Amino acid sequence: MQSRFSNTRRFATTLVARALAVSVLSGAAGLAGAQEMTKIRYTLDWRFEGPISPFLLAADRGYFRDEKLDVQIDVGAGSPVAVNRVAAGTHDIGLCDITSLFEFAANNQQNPAARMQAVYAYYEQSPAMAFALKKSGIKTPKDLEGKTLGAPVFDGGRKAFPIFAKATNIDTSKVKWTAMEPSLRETMLVRGEVDAITGYHFSGLLSINARGVKDEDVVMFKYTDYGVPLYGNVIFASPKFIAEHPKAVAGFLRAVNKAIKETIANPQAAIKVLKARDAVIDETIELKRLKLALEYIVTPAVKSSGLGSFSKVRLEQGLEAVQWGFDLKSKVNLDLILNSSFLPSSAERSVN
C-alpha cells in the first residue's frame, strides 16, 4: 500500500510535467509566431516630421504587427537616397518623390532588378513650389527671370523647375542657381542672399516662419497650380521584395492606409506618436506641417477615386514632363514601374 506522501509526490510531479509541457508548447507557438513575422526595412525620404506621422502611427497602434510585419522605420536624406537604399537592398520599401523614381528608372533601363515599382500614391499632388518674400517685388512666376534662386542640388522643386518654367513661360537662361545645404536654404532667403528658393510647401513655409517671416509676407508659386501634372511622394518597393513577399507588401499598404485615415480624422493623435518617437520636435509646428501635408493627401481626385490610387493619364503626362525637364536620355516604360495590384480595397481607401 502506497503512502499518502507517495501519492502527493506523484501528483505534484504530474503537475510539474504538465506545466513544463504547456510551457514548451507555448514557447514553440511563440517561436512559430515570431517566425511568421516578415521583417521590412522601410526608409523615409526625410526626417521624422509631421507629414510622415501616419507611418509611426501604424507602428504604434500595432497595425503592422496585425499584418504579421516587423517594420523598421528609418529616417531619410532625400528622395534619391531613399531610391538608392531600396535598389541596393539595404531597405525593402521606401518613400520618395515620384520624379526620383522616374529618373532612377531612366538611368537603369538595362537592369531589371533596379526597376523600383510605385505601389501607393502618398501625395496625390506634388507639394513642390517656389518661394519668395513680398519685399523682393516678385509677384508672378515671370518675375523670377533675372533673379538668383537657391536650393540643394537634389531638391525635387529645383529639379522640376524647368517643367514649371515651361508652363509659365519663364526663360530659364535668365535664372541663376545657388546650391546650399538644406538647413541653409530658408536662412539665405530671409537674409536676402538669394531672391527665391524651391522646396516643398510644408517644409519651406514653416522653415521661413521659423526665421520670423509671417505667411502673409511670403509669395508662393505651387507648380501644380500652373498645370504641372506631377504626383508627389509615392510608396515604392524593390522588384525582389515584391516577388518574394507579395502578401507583406499588401499588408504594409493596408496598415499604412488605415493609419492615414485615422490621421486625417485626428491629426493631433498622430503628432503625439511623433513626439513620443522624437521628443525634441515642436508639436505646434509639426501639427501645422501635417495639416498642410494633408492638403496633398486628401485632394478632390482622392475623394473621387480613393487614397493611394494613380491616374494612368496623369502619370503619363508627368513622366513625359520629367523626361523633358530632367533631360533623361532613356525613355521610361511606365508599365514597368507602376504596380497598383497591392492597393487595399476601394472601400478601405475611401475618404470624404
Q: What parts of the chain have a pLDDT lower than 50?
A: 1-33
- Same domain flag for 190 and 92: no
The answer to whether residue 1 is domain-embedded is no
Q: Are 156 and 99 in contact (CB under 8 A)?
A: yes
- Domain boundary at 226, 245, 262, which? 226
Number of domains in the chain: 2
- Same domain flag for 72 and 204: no
Q: How many CB atoms lie within 10 A of CB 120?
A: 27
Bin 267: left if φ > 0, else alpha if -120 < ψ < 50, else beta: alpha
Please tell me the distance from the alpha carbon of residue 30 to that of residue 47, in angstroms, as a whole number: 34
The answer to whether residue 277 is domain-embedded is yes
What are the phi and psi torsion angles at 19 (to 5°)? -65, -40
Q: How many CB atoms lie within 10 A of CB 352?
A: 5
- Domain boundary at 226, 256, 273, which? 226
- Same domain flag for 343 and 243: yes
> What is the per-residue pLDDT for 35?
59
* Tens digits of residue pLDDT in 131-146: 999 999 999 999 999 9
- Same domain flag for 55 and 148: no
- Same domain flag for 308 and 345: yes
- Same domain flag for 117 and 257: yes
Exposure b/e, 15-31, CB count within 10 A at least 16 = b: eeeeeeeeeeeeeeeee
Handedness of CA 300, 55, 347, 245 (dihedral sign): positive
The grid cell for 142 is 515671370
> What is the per-residue pLDDT for 7?
46
- Domain boundary at 184, 208, 226, which? 226
Please tell me the distance from the alpha carbon of residue 64 to that of residue 54, in angstroms, as a whole number: 12
The answer to whether residue 297 is domain-embedded is yes
Rounded to two decimals, what is the model's pTM? Answer: 0.88
CATH (domain of 201) = 3.40.190.10
The answer to whether residue 5 is domain-embedded is no
> What is the per-residue pLDDT for 301?
96
Identify the domain containing residue 342 by its residue range. 37-124+231-349
Q: Sheet harboring 176-178: ordered strands across?
A: 176-178, 148-150, 196-200, 128-133, 218-222
> What is the per-residue pLDDT for 19?
41
SS3 107: helix
* Tens digits of residue pLDDT in 90-107: 999 999 999 999 999 999
The answer to whether residue 259 is domain-embedded is yes
